[in-house]
Amino acid sequence: MASRPERGYEVGPHNGKPPMTAASTEIRHIVFDIGNVLISWEPERLYRRLIPDEAARRVFLAEVLTHEWNLEQDRGRSWADAEAEVLARYPQHAELIRAWRLHWHEMVPGAIEETVEILRALIASGYDVTALTNFAEDTFAEAQARFPYLTTFRGITVSGKVRLVKPDVAIYHHHVEAHDLDPAATLFFDDMPANIEAARAAGWNAERFVDPATMRADLEKWGVRLTA
């Protein structure tokens, strides 16, 4: 599950067409990101306990267990291979490296309850609601067990299962094909700017998730009415 801006992908222009506007679009499909939209994702939470010194902790997360390292698990790399790769370079940090998967649940402290309420209201109001998430397949199953509302989507694309990650535009096309969406009638919410731009490049409408109140305002702007 990504926690920092993804780099290295070209999202390109909007196929030479002007972007859709809220006034000209009827939204039928709502697509949720999950990390930092529906559940909190805080790697530092675990490592504050394991590495109390702030400077040392920042160096460890910037140089050892990096965003790019974790993104490969989101892309489908096994935890055994992930640990072996980084242990070969930093054997002195073996305990801290293995703690990432062993204590993964500590980095996901809880639900973002106000967004969960929006999710439930959208489903109850008759909208087609799916999810598109950068997540390792096994930890996503663990998240669903902890947070049952993550099983209520009509469909979910999990990056670790399809071996594609946001913001690669290919994963947006995959989601459309797998779940029979009309991109022009789709509204996507994600906390990462690069993922929003990629969605727009794929022909979707998209808004950056900032907080639940802003999400409600964005839904209203796009004409999405919550009746429940």
- Residue with the two structure tokens 């209201």: 121
Supply the pLDDT for residue 20: 54
Are 74 and 171 spatial neighbours (Cβ–Cβ below 8 Å)?
Answer: no
Mean pLDDT throughout 1-6?
A: 49
Both structure tokens of 154: 């009509």
Both structure tokens of 2: 């990504």
Task: Identify the bridge partners of residue 131 per DSSP, sorted by sequence position.
Answer: 32, 156
**DSSP structure string for 50-115:** H---HHHHHHHHHHTS-HHHHHHHHTT--HHHHHHHHHHH-GGGHHHHHHHHHTGGGG---B-HHH
Percentage of the chain beyond pLDDT 90 is: 88
Does 5 score more than 70 pLDDT?
A: no
Phi, psi of 120 (to 5 degrees): -65, -40
Query: Average model confidence (pLDDT) for the chain?
Result: 92
pLDDT in tens, 70-115: 999 999 999 999 999 999 999 999 999 999 999 999 999 999 999 9
Q: Where does the pLDDT of residue 227 fall: very low under 50, low under 70, confident under 90, or very high at 90 and above? A: confident
Supply the pLDDT for residue 74: 97
Residue scoring higher pLDDT (88 or 19): 88
Supply the pLDDT for residue 21: 59
pLDDT in tens, 153-196: 999 999 999 999 999 999 999 999 999 999 999 999 999 999 99
Instruction: Report d(CA 169, CA 171) in Å as an integer.
Output: 5
What is the identity of the amino acid at 24? S
Ordered by start, the domain boundaries in the chain are 22-40+110-221, 43-107
Does 142 score more than 60 pLDDT?
A: yes
Class of domain 22-40+110-221: alpha beta
Mean pLDDT throughout 4-19?
A: 43
pTM, two decimals, is: 0.89
What is the identity of the amino acid at 104? W
- Count CB neighbours of 222 within 10 A: 18
Q: Where does the pLDDT of residue 23 fall: very low under 50, low under 70, confident under 90, or very high at 90 and above? A: low
Are 19 and 184 spatial neighbours (Cβ–Cβ below 8 Å)?
Answer: no
Choose among 105, 129, 122: nearest CA to 179: 129
